[in-house]
């Protein structure tokens, strides 16, 4: 008895923290207008059956409002980001919704607010629908992957998520908001036409050909945007329809110096960052050791996925 009372009290406290908003939908306004017309007709003609039908339908609408509100109560939500992505690629996040009640939930629409500008009507702000949850069983969880569009480099925050529902009859639109702190790191878009530079004998040269160690096959890895198409393992792709690129090892390995100041003739900072990003990908897949020189930051020569992530992160968070 004591446990059940404490559980009930905890649920009441959680429900008070979660604000659920509800408004009639277009169908709900039409339904209310029809009821008013029916009631006026029943009053005008003193029709008792018309009164009965009007009040019966009004009671049905009232019960529908409570069911629509209850469909969003006691829902838990958590978001965890996946790996960083390049600009204009979708940022992926894992969404988990937990049903903390003994009732099933139906037709939940998940939407994200990507515009960070404050609006006058914050509750009715612009949200982008991302996913529809058809059903969550009682005391169960539901997981899915959300894809968010990215338009610029840097940290891509997820300010808030909205879960809405028009269950059961579509007469009311209920929604609740979940503030979020999850964010995904977005690298610059890898693009540019400059050839990969190589520093040899203290002078910067241009690497027009493949290095000597390219004859030593080292394995396959997932294809990344910006990689040369001649490195794609087309035979492996024909087997499982997964795009991979060939990796080669270089015993001696050229050491590259990727310098911001070599790109000062490009029109703006974003063009320089995109070119450096493409160079980083080409240097890593070519098996080179490479360093990165940015205004106010210098990263020593190294190679590997951790070094590549450090350099790409420096490009993503660069502020001139």
* Rounded-to-10 torsion of CA 111, 113, 118, 121: -10
Phi, psi of 30 (to 5 degrees): -65, -40
Q: Are strands 183-187 and 85-86 parallel, antiparallel or unpaired?
A: parallel
Asked if residue 161 lies in contact with residue 178, where contact means CB atoms within 8 angstroms, the answer is yes
Cα–Cα dist 104/87, whole Å: 39
Interatomic CA distance for residues 284 and 218, integer angstroms:
13
| d(C-alpha 49, C-alpha 64), whole Å | 22
Do 283 and 249 form a contact (C-beta atoms < 8 A)? no
Joined tokens for residue 281: 């990908």
Do residues 115 and 124 make contact, with C-beta atoms less than 8 angstroms apart? Answer: no
φ/ψ of 202, rounded to 5, equals 80, 5
Residue 68 has a CB neighbour count (10 Å cut-off) of: 23
pLDDT for the residue numbered 51: 92
Helix (H, G, I), strand (E, B) or coil at 119: coil
CA-to-CA distance for 58 and 64, rounded, in angstroms? 10
Q: What is the pLDDT along the chain (320 residues), one digit of tens a residue?
A: 555 555 555 554 554 467 899 999 999 999 999 999 999 999 999 899 999 999 999 999 999 999 999 999 989 999 988 889 999 999 989 999 999 888 899 999 999 886 555 444 444 557 888 899 999 999 899 999 988 889 899 999 888 899 999 999 999 999 999 988 888 999 999 998 888 886 543 444 444 444 434 445 656 767 766 666 777 888 777 777 778 777 655 444 568 889 998 898 898 999 999 999 999 999 998 888 999 999 988 999 998 999 999 999 999 999 86
284: how many CB neighbours lie within 10 A of its CB? 22
Q: Give the pLDDT confidence score for residue 7 in this predicted structure.
A: 54
Local structure of 230: helix, strand or coil? helix
Alpha helices in the chain (DSSP H): 2-17, 26-45, 48-70, 234-240, 269-285, 305-316
CATH numbers and ranges of domains, the chain = 15-187 (2.60.40.10), 197-316 (no CATH)
Distance CA 238, CA 102 (A): 48
């Amino acid at each position: 008895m004591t446990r059940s009372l404490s559980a009930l009290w905890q649920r009441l406290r959680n429900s008070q923290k979660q604000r659920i908003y509800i408004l009639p939908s277009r169908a709900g306004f039409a339904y209310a207008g029809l009821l008013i017309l029916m009631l006026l007709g029943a009053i005008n003609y003193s029709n008792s059956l018309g009164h009965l039908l009007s009040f019966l339908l009004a009671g049905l609408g009232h019960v529908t409002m409570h069911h629509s509100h209850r469909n969003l109560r006691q829902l838990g939500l958590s978001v965890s980001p996946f790996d960083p992505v390049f600009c204009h690629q979708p940022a992926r996040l894992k969404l988990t919704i937990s049903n903390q009640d003994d009732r099933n939930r139906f037709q939940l629409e998940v939407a994200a607010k990507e515009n960070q500008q404050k609006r006058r009507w914050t509750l009715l702000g612009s949200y982008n629908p991302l996913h529809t949850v058809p059903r969550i069983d009682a005391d169960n969880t539901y997981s899915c992957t959300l894809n968010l569009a990215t338009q610029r480099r840097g940290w891509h925050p997820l300010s808030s998520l909205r879960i809405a529902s028009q269950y059961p009859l579509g007469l009311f639109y209920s929604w609740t908001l979940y503030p979020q702190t999850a964010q995904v790191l977005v690298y610059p878009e890898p693009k540019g036409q400059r050839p990969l530079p190589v520093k040899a004998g203290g002078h910067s040269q241009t690497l027009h050909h493949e290095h000597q160690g390219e004859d030593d096959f080292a394995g396959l890895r997932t294809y990344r945007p910006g990689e040369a198409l001649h490195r794609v393992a087309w035979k492996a792709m024909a087997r499982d329809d997964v795009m991979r690129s060939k990796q080669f090892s270089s015993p001696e390995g050229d050491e590259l110096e990727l310098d911001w100041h070599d790109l000062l003739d490009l029109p703006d900072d974003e063009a320089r960052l995109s070119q450096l990003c493409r160079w980083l990908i080409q240097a890593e897949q070519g098996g080179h050791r490479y360093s990165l020189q940015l205004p106010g930051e210098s990263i020593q020569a190294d190679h590997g996925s951790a070094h590549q992530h450090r350099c790409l992160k420096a490009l993503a968070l660069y502020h001139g």
